[in-house]
């Protein structure tokens, strides 16, 4: 149910290093672009006669944006991971579950619009949580609880939906909450670790792929024969 060893081993065995580096590069580009955009907007908006005051405000906003971005990164993992999602699943399954490999090749960013909508919603919810940080440590716990739910459900739906479609993946999730949200909790914690969190989108996909294949797959969660595409959403 908690495939720590398999997830770590998959990085080397399934040849995921290149994907992880690409994922980290994309994450850095998004974070740096957002940081520069916020600073540029602040510089345009704030224009006092006293240069020191401009510098102080811009510096404060920059620090706040950096700290806020760190806590917001879990909300961006689905958007970043979605680009390489099916490629990562395919690579892992060819090594660990060859009988389950689909004949249809992996697609690049198969759920683009869904991932964008989910990310916007996740960022909005995480912004609502930010005031809780003013109450001490409660903010961190609220954020972890929120992202445990969001990331656990979303990454499991992606891994399971790759084979059985999103509707059946939802039903499978509802009967395996401990595995799904336990995984979401681990993913959320890793996403808060500096530098390591740049690789979390691929780690999360791999983790949930192993979780999916470890669960009893019958009834609503039955995997189609190898090569058969998932049921329509």
Average pLDDT of the residues in 67-95? 83
pLDDT at res. 71: 65
pLDDT at res. 130: 78
Per-residue pLDDT band at 216 (split at 50, 70, 90): confident
pLDDT at res. 191: 87
Q: Check residue 227 and give left, alpha or beta (phi > 0: left; psi -120 to 50: alpha).
A: left
Residue 122 near residue 150 (C-beta atoms within 8 A): yes
pLDDT digits (tens, 9 = 90+) for 138-196: 888 998 999 999 999 999 999 999 988 888 999 999 999 999 999 999 999 998 888 88
pLDDT digits (tens, 9 = 90+) for 37-75: 777 777 777 777 777 777 777 777 777 666 666 666 777
Residue 208 near residue 161 (C-beta atoms within 8 A): no
How high does pLDDT run on average in the chain? 83
Instruction: Locate all alpha helices (DSSP H) within the chain, ordered by sequence.
Output: 4-13, 17-45, 51-96, 112-129, 138-164, 166-174, 177-190, 200-214
DSSP state, residue 196: G
Sequence spans of domains, the chain? 4-100+107-214
């Amino acid at each position: 149910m908690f495939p720590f060893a398999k997830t770590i081993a998959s990085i080397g065995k399934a040849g995921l290093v290149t994907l992880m580096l690409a994922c980290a590069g994309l994450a850095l580009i998004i974070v740096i672009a957002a940081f520069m955009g916020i600073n540029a907007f602040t510089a345009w908006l704030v224009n006092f006669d006293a240069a020191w005051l401009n510098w102080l405000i811009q510096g404060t906003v920059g620090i706040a944006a950096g700290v806020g971005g760190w806590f917001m990164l879990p909300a961006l993992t689905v958007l970043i991971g979605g680009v390489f999602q099916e490629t990562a699943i395919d690579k892992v399954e060819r090594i660990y579950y060859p009988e389950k490999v689909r004949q249809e090749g992996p697609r690049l960013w198969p759920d683009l619009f869904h991932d964008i909508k989910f990310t916007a919603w996740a960022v909005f919810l995480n912004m609502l949580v930010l005031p809780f940080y003013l109450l001490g440590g409660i903010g961190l716990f609220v954020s972890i609880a929120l992202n445990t739910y969001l990331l656990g459900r979303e990454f499991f739906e992606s891994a399971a939906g790759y084979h059985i479609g999103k509707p059946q993946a939802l039903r499978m999730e509802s009967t395996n909450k401990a595995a799904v949200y336990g995984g979401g909790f681990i993913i959320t914690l890793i996403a808060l670790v500096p530098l390591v969190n740049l690789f979390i989108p691929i780690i999360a996909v791999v983790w949930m792929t192993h979780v999916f294949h470890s669960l009893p797959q019958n009834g609503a969660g039955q995997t189609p024969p190898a090569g058969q595409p998932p049921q329509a959403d």
